[in-house]
Amino acid sequence: MAKENISKATRFIHRDYSWLDFNYRVLQEAKDPNVPLMERVKFLAIYSSNLDEFFRVRVANHRNLLQVGKKTIKQLDYDPETVLLKIQKIVSEQAVEFGEIFQHQIVPELKRHDIHLVQREELSQEQEAFVDTYFQENLLPFVQPVLLVKDKIRPFLNNKALYLAILMKDKENASTQEQYGIIKIPSDHLPRFIELPTRKPGHELIMLDEIVRHSVMWLFPGYQIINTYSIKLTRDGELYIDDEYQGDLVKKIKNSLLKRDVGPASRLVFDKTIPSQFLQYLMNVLGVEKLGLFPEGRFHNNFDFFKFPSFGMDHLKDQPLPPMDYQPLANAESIFEPIRANDHLIHVPYHKYEPVIKFFEHAAKDPNVTHIKIIQYRVAPNSRIMEALINAVKSGKQVYAFIEVKARFDEEANLRWGEQLEKAGIVVRYSFPGLKVHSKLALVRRLEPDGPQLYSYLSTGNFHEVTARIYSDQGLFTSDKRITSEVARIFSFLETVKLPSEEFKHLLVGQFNLRKTLIQLIDFEIAEAGAGRAASIVLKINSLQDEEMIEKLYEASQAGVKIELNIRGICSLIAGKKSLSENIKAFSIVDRFLEHSRIFLFHHGGQEKMYLASADWMERNLSFRIETAFPIYDRVLMAEIKDILAIQRSDNVKARSLNYQHINEYLLNDSDLAIRSQHETYFYLKRKYEELHPKE
């Protein structure tokens, strides 16, 4: 077996190991007794959902590399088998902890609040009758028992679906060998948690799995059921679209979507009590290799915990933090007047998303608006923004939408929206081959007494009304010509695919000046530190993996630049290591809202430069995407963002260390107060609002 590149391993943490560290931070939330009970249940679901996608994309990719042969593997700087073995070890260890958290923390806490999870062996006579009736009336149309016959019947297991693997014997011929069967648990059609008639105060729930276990004897008449074991198969979810510049890319994506859920197996999750002979049989039948085996407990598909009933017990959930109006834009008769006067910045989900929606709705109705342009990466199922664009076309406006149909796992939804917009008369442009467009931009052209005026909205997050309630992002409304003219230049490039005639001087744009300018900004700090002057960099991003940028940060650290990294997810940089990165402090915050904003702050000789961005510091973002980082020129807005960064820096409740010797340890500080940065940010913005609008 080849070994990982040792010199590289001393300078970089493999992105997938770091991602598993991130997902463990999610699991930490599930086991934190200070987190409300129903939120802990939700974090079990988030952890499981994250892991499913990880196996569908990242693990599937490593398995594919392993299968292409030694010649290709030699060209890599790592060994896929080594990575897969380590992933298997880490995930298996986390699965044990997941089970411990659920069985020994969550279940007892649920009982304490009179919510009881009942197994089939514990059913009363009344409950057995209920279960029998439920099975006959609800389950029978969906369950399809399959008797497995070696070399004759090879069942196809749906991606991420639940199944029971059944061990049984022929009742009439007890001397025959054990036989195997399989049944799908139809949790995609029926609730996973079913309330039983109760024998005691409170609520008693049974999982759908247990109802199927209880009723399996009716599905295999003539057989003695020895035992049942839950299994789940995860399939490769990558589309593998050729990126040549010929052919219809949209058609290729549509064709690939049809194949996504029938991709090769990347993981078999199974009940660890299953006999080894039965497991080997399933491996052969399902085409699963040893590296794809992941033993767990009795239940799988734990993302169904998203739908765990709370029975109206709101005291077991997070305290409400209702989003606030962003007052300067909330009541404006025309949203463009206050934007013409000043730049405006909203912080979601602390602020309502309504100003963004109004930006499009007002543009659709305003007789002076002539053009509306937007980039859509992920779209809400019922989007008022999309409806506004359709209404704008009906009002005679020119509307252009660039829709990125390669947004992973949102391809189908984006194609549907694209077709709907095209039918309405909107000019729709789809993805470029080999390049994703990830910028979050919108532009409006309005005729005004002094001539045409451009208005722009630039954001760190998608135009998505649903995720705006749970993702922490910033969005800038501006009419500043330095910015709006360059936003218009990006849209011209997307529409014509002709390179801009002028360089970008204010925006940092992927494929043009983003990487180059970031390196120049770091080099400036290195030079300042070398001259004995103050030099610092603060980065708040979701992921840091790009090796060139990490090496540049190491260089800055060694030159004496003070660097602070606030990274939610992947961090391949080794922070806090002597002679390599001792001037780099790194931490991560995982809490009720998903930290999603990207903020770059450079001291720059005291003339601070700040950018908000759509881009993480991943190779894919900096090299293979159209991304946009936009400057904050308004010093009041910059001070506000710096205050929020300082609040996050002081977090001693939800912040974890990313320094290499203390990965995921909770950070403590000298404060006597418990500082939970997301709550502090909410009340910081609330105080600012109340200062501007005191109660009478």
* pLDDT score, position 145: 87
Would you state the structure tokens that stand for residue 380, as one six-digit string? 């809400």
Q: Which helix (H) or strand (E) holds 198?
A: none
The angle subtended at Cα 20 by Cα 14 and Cα 21, nearest 5°, is 90
Strand partners, 613: 598, 629
Please say if the pLDDT value at position 232 is more than 70: yes
Give CA–CA dist 426/492, Å, rounded.
16
Instruction: Please answer whether residues 301 and 160 qualify as being in contact, where contact means their C-beta atoms are separated by less than 8 angstroms.
Output: yes
Give CA–CA dist 550/552, Å, rounded.
5
Q: How confident is the model at residue 2 (pLDDT cuts 50, 70, 90)?
A: very low
Lowest-confidence segment of 59-68, 112-121, 436-445, 481-490 by average pLDDT: 59-68
Give CA–CA dist 541/107, Å, rounded.
35
Rounded to 5 degrees, φ, ψ at 452 are -60, 140
Q: How confident is the model at residue 588 (pLDDT cuts 50, 70, 90)?
A: very high
* pLDDT score, position 144: 82
Q: Which helix (H) or strand (E) holds 397?
A: none
Please say if the pLDDT value at position 245 is more than 60: no
Residues 6+ apart with CB under 8 A from 665: 656, 657
Domains of the chain: 1-113 (1.20.58.310), 120-243+263-308 (3.30.1840.10), 327-502 (3.30.870.10), 509-692 (3.30.870.10)
pLDDT in tens, 69-94: 665 666 677 788 899 999 999 999 99
Give CA–CA dist 93/85, Å, rounded.
12
Q: What is the pTM of this model?
A: 0.92
Q: Which residues carry out catalysis?
A: 438
